[in-house]
């Protein structure tokens, strides 16, 4: 396989990832202590988050602009038991949220959504190895690198934490000849 076709395979893979839906439950793990579970999500642009109230008391989910400023992107109505509210995140960024009606008395009823647009760049294939950079992360997040012989079969080959600069230099010194496609996912 030529170097050019490897680059095409990586870029093709990066654009083929479909949007996902992530669920967050509003729950009560102990008496009168309501939380969002999971509390913090890491997703990609275009992914959707759906909050579901699993307790008898009404709750909401509201973008908390007190933390990062800007325009409030969403504010759900009060959600009764088993009601849901969804929001699709289109732009990379950090989005804290809260239950507006309980934040004064229950400061633990908060959460965050980090929307990260990871990409692979600077692919080099030489000396039997494959090297590239993973961009788009930040300190506190990690990247899972996966390789496959097609767009439908992936195997994790490495997990690396992002440094403060947000760029991971990745090298696969002994890539199997059938693993021509690479992708990177960002995880908490």
More confident residue, 44 or 54: 54
| Interatomic CA distance for residues 77 and 20, integer angstroms | 23
Res 74: pLDDT: 97
Give the CA distances from residue 31 to residues 34, 38, 98, 160, in Å, rounded to whole numbers and listed in that order.
8, 18, 19, 38
pLDDT of residue 52 exceeding 80, the answer is: yes
Q: Bridge-partner residues for 94, per DSSP? A: 114
- Mean pLDDT value of segment 71-92: 96
Q: Are residues 137 and 62 in the same domain?
A: no
Q: Are residues 92 and 130 in the same domain?
A: no
What total of structural domains would you count in the chain?
Answer: 2
Model confidence pTM above 0.75: no
Res 32: pLDDT: 65
pLDDT tens sequence across 132-186: 999 888 888 889 888 888 777 888 889 999 998 889 999 888 776 667 788 888 8
Last residue of a domain, which of 115, 148, 177? 115
Q: Are 55 and 95 contacting, i.e. CB atoms less than 8 angstroms apart?
A: no
In this structure, is residue 5 part of a structural domain?
no
């Amino acid at each position: 396989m030529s170097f050019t076709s490897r680059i095409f395979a990586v870029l093709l893979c990066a654009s083929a990832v479909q949007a996902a839906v992530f669920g967050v439950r509003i729950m009560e793990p102990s008496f009168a202590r309501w939380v969002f579970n999971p509390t913090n999500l890491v997703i990609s642009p275009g992914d959707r988050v759906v909050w579901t109230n699993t307790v008898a008391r009404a709750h909401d989910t509201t973008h908390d602009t007190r933390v990062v400023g800007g325009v409030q992107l969403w504010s759900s109505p009060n959600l009764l038991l088993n009601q849901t509210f969804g929001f699709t995140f289109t732009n990379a960024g950090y989005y804290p949220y809260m239950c507006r009606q309980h934040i004064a008395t229950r400061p633990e009823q908060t959460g965050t959504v980090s929307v990260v647009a990871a990409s692979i760049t600077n692919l080099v294939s030489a000396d039997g190895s494959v090297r590239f950079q993973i961009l788009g992360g930040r300190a506190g997040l990690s990247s899972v690198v996966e390789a496959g012989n097609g767009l439908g079969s992936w195997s994790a080959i490495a997990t690396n934490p992002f440094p403060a600069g947000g760029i991971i230099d990745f090298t696969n010194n002994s890539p199997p000849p059938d693993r021509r496609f690479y992708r990177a996912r960002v995880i908490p």
